[in-house]
Amino acid sequence: MAEKSIGIPLLGDDFPSMEVQTTHGMMKLPDDANEGGKWWFILFSHPADFTPVCTTEFHAFAVRNEKFQELNTRLIGLSIDQVFAHIKWEEWIKENLKVEIPFPIIADHGMVAKKLGMVHPGKGSNTVRAVFVVDANGKIRLILYYPQEIGRNMDEILRAVKALQTADKNKVATPANWPNNELFGDHVIIPPAKDVKTAKERLENAGKDYECLDWWLCHKKL
């Protein structure tokens, strides 16, 4: 009988419960990461320790760790390597790149990668560059997959977390390239009207607390 494949989680799914070994000791996810609803966290995988692109990514994540912390978000790395390799790689980065890795790295034996769809057969047996943004309630809010040969843009990941938190807090959406949208700058999008009465009121009240190009496209400054 063929082995049952495990699909990639969907946006809005609960992050699957698991116990993992990390460079900071054993952790239970998502509970130890979000501390009962206090923190968001980002779990990101890399193909392997002591590889060029991955090293640049860990440096980039490390130097932005405080910015993630300011967004109440923790970082957790992962690859299918032993914890000893992770520790030695951290030491190399500190010695040669002059930055400490402040976040835990999961030493996966394949279980986590399989649960989260991080191993893509066409890309070999290593994990692809996956990113899972998980909110304080343990819900998966954003998923990114990059091939092994393309390094990630950490500023975009920061932007996405800030946009998600802004949308949640204010019940709005964010336009393309927010907060530097070519049309509306740092304004946010008001959810479209869902009935005739609200659509009419949108246009009648435009110019007070918000602006509209039409009843379904209204924006405002927070």
Which active-site residues does the annotation give? 54
**Whole-number CA gyration radius for the chain:** 20
Please name the amino acid found at residue 157: I
The C-alpha atoms of residue 4 and residue 197 are separated, in whole angstroms, by 51
| Sheet containing 217-220, strands listed edge to edge, beginning at the edge strand earlier in sequence | 188-190, 217-220, 211-214
Give dist(CA 93, CA 71) in Å, integer: 25
Residues in the chain: 222
Phi, psi of 211 (to 5 degrees): -120, 150
Rounded distance between C-alpha atoms, residue 50 and residue 69, angstroms: 26
Beta bridge partners of 129: 146
> Residue written as tokens 């951290």?
90
